[in-house]
Structure 1
């Protein structure tokens, strides 16, 4: 006998199925199973048990749903350090959290890079908290956004590096053409083993923080 299907009760549902929050949650569920490569509006409609046409009445495109996912993920980035830590400590906490969130969602990074922040309230809340922390640390207003952009560029690249193959720098049959680089790769592997991505992240972040620091921005604990 065919399996019995549960029918939806007649009439309007007690709760709206197609809210931004429910669509975003369902999209993340689909991505968790299928990956970003298998995520389509049809697969999302099937997860929500609605017709694709009904879904399009609430989300105009896959790109819009990806924007909602990005905004949902930004709420998970830790900005708490900007209200009670030194500027350096706060940036380290923020950058590490930011990277950790997007290590799990690297396919979203190219989407984020070209999206406007309008219509993304959680993303704006994150930037507002970071900006407030920079201002409290004595940063000139005009220097803040360039610094954030530079840090984000590094964070996104580090997220990709964290999921790259461990042998990405294996020179293979071209070893004789790049002996110095090959030796440097071997020396790094001998010293830090499988922690290359973490080592690179900490070294790069430290260099950025040091480079940004100046007498006008050397931090005092935020009140």
Structure 2
């Protein structure tokens, strides 16, 4: 029959493939986050920026990453490990490239300004990182190594190098807070008449609109430190 013969000549349709695991997977966010140190560091910084240092807990960090705490503990064994990651992350952003290349005072100046600017963006971490041991923090140690080598090459007394770095850091950390201070922090308000010298100085500073007061203060203090430390060089 013609109908039967035609049917025999028509190609048979290809069988419909069974749905694969990929095609069955729901589109959108994966069910579990892929963890690595960079992701943990970024999430911890975001958590601290929202809730402050006290808001950084392992349980809270795991929730922000969308994983179970047990998964987080596969990558960091404690909150201290997370803090070391944060310490290293910030230290790696500080510019030490001028040490060994530029004169000592230029290198210190570049390092200190960079240090202040980095930590002015992360002031909640200053009280923690300022006293956090540097063991097991390779990027932090690399920063200190570059600075220490620069001081030694400039003829700085070796027994004074660490003390000088600590003094500079103390100034830098305080200045980082100053960057975020309100512009009217020194406004005496209704008591202005009782402190005429202070009020006049504050008013005079306010006239210097071409420079940020925080930058003027930092530059003044930093240059004094560089000048004073410079006298110790051999």
Larger radius of gyration: 2
CA distance in 2, matches of 1:164, 1:30: 22
Quote the offset at 1:119 in angstroms.
1.5
| Matching residue within 90, 94, 108 for 2:107 | 90
Task: Could you tell me which runs of 5 or more consecutive residues in structure 1 were left unpaired when the two chains were aligned.
Answer: 218-223
Q: Where does 1:21-170 land on structure 2 (aligned, <5 Å)?
A: 21-31=38-48, 34=50, 36=52, 38-170=55-187
Quote the offset at 1:135 in angstroms.
0.8
In structure 2, do the counterparts of structure 1 residues 7 and 95 end up closer, same or farther at CA, with 3 Å as the change threshold?
closer
| Count of aligned pairs between the two proteins | 208
Task: Could you tell me which runs of 5 or more consecutive residues in structure 2 were left unpaired when the two chains were aligned.
Answer: 1-25
Cα deviation digits, residues 172-215 of structure 1 (max 9, x gap): 12212211111111111112466100000111111100111127
| Matching residue within 185, 198, 201 for 2:218 | 201
RMSD after superposition: 2.4
CA distance in 1, matches of 2:229, 2:85: 32
Contact 2:179 2:214 in 1 (8 A): yes
Quote the offset at 1:126 in angstroms.
0.2
Deviates more, 1:135-144 or 1:53-62: 53-62
CA distance in 2, matches of 1:86, 1:71: 26
TM-score, normalisation: structure 2: 0.80
Contact 2:157 2:232 in 1 (8 A): no
Cα deviation digits, residues 25-80 of structure 1 (max 9, x gap): 33234445x25355443342123221123323433444432331121110111001
TM-score, normalisation: structure 1: 0.83
Higher relative contact order (CA 8 A, sep 6+): 1
Cα deviation digits, residues 82-136 of structure 1 (max 9, x gap): 0210000000110011111111001110001221111211111000000011111
Contact 2:48 2:124 in 1 (8 A): no
Aligned to 1:211: 228
